[in-house]
């Protein structure tokens, strides 16, 4: 069984926490240490960002991290090499997040082959059109047993949400707002209504809520309306400030209590 599916099948009533970081930031050689540290500190799933020069869905924190990573020399192939070196030590699901241009430049089938060889269970490609997913990407992903996770936003139609639910596997990434990534202090009434509306659809697949989760209030709101939460910008900021994965995740846990 794919490790993403296993995670959700075995979680019971426990709410999950997934963290995102950008590979290659703040240092080129930190990938293995960050992944293993997060696993040791109880993070359920790890989302590893592939740096790209034009990340349309990302806010200034993650854009800046990507710029640093590219200047440090991070590439998709190097990231695969770094993950491959620790694949037998990693038990939690690894999900790559990157843009279509980078994946296509690497080679689509080669990308999924490398995912398997590196212990990667899924990927998120924010700018992947559904038509291209169905016709080209999904057949290859299915062949290599890699989950392609799709995002939905408050503006996504019910018809499209049900289509995504029917034609993808693993989980649905529920973006808290139609904007870019970035830490927020609270979710307003409109976002809470959106969370409740999607929960009432009784979708087949579990949902993880991301974008804006950074403190106790936003974490609890996300976890109350989904299988769990994804934190990105807050952890990326702490990792850059400290330069140390252990200290960064410790400070994050402290922030989530406030």
Annotated catalytic residues are 47, 58
Helix (H, G, I), strand (E, B) or coil at 79: helix
Interatomic CA distance for residues 194 and 196, integer angstroms: 5
Which residues have C-beta within 8 Å of that of residue 245, sequence separation ≥ 6?
A: 30, 33, 34, 37, 38, 239
* Cβ atoms within 10 Å of 136's Cβ, excluding its own: 14
Please answer whether residues 64 and 70 qualify as being in contact, where contact means their C-beta atoms are separated by less than 8 angstroms.
Answer: no
Cα dihedral across residues 60, 63, 69, 70: positive or negative: negative
């Amino acid at each position: 069984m794919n490790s993403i599916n296993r995670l959700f099948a075995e979680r019971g009533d426990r709410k999950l926490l997934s963290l995102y970081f950008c590979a290659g930031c703040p240092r080129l050689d930190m990938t293995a240490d960050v992944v293993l540290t997060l696993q040791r500190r109880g993070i359920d799933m790890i989302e590893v960002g592939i740096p790209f020069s034009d990340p349309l869905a990302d806010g200034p924190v993650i854009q800046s991290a990507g710029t640093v990573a590219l200047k440090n020399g991070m590439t998709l192939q190097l990231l695969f090499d770094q993950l491959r070196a620790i694949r037998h030590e990693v038990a939690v699901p690894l999900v790559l997040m990157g843009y279509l241009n980078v994946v296509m430049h690497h080679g689509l089938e080669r990308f999924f082959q490398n995912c398997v060889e590196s212990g990667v269970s899924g990927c998120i490609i924010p700018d992947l059109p559904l038509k291209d997913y169905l016709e080209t990407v999904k057949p290859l992903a299915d062949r290599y047993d890699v989950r392609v996770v799709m995002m939905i936003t408050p503006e996504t139609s019910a018809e499209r949400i049900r289509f995504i639910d029917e034609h993808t596997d693993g989980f649905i990434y529920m973006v808290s707002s139609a904007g870019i990534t970035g830490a927020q202090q609270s979710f307003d009434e409109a976002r809470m209504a959106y969370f409740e509306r999607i929960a009432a659809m009784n979708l087949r697949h579990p949902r993880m809520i991301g974008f804006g989760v950074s403190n106790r209030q936003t974490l609890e709101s996300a976890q109350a309306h989904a299988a769990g939460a994804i934190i990105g910008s807050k952890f990326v900021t702490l990792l850059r400030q400290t330069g140390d994965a252990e200290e960064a995740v410790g400070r994050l846990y402290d922030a989530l209590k406030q």
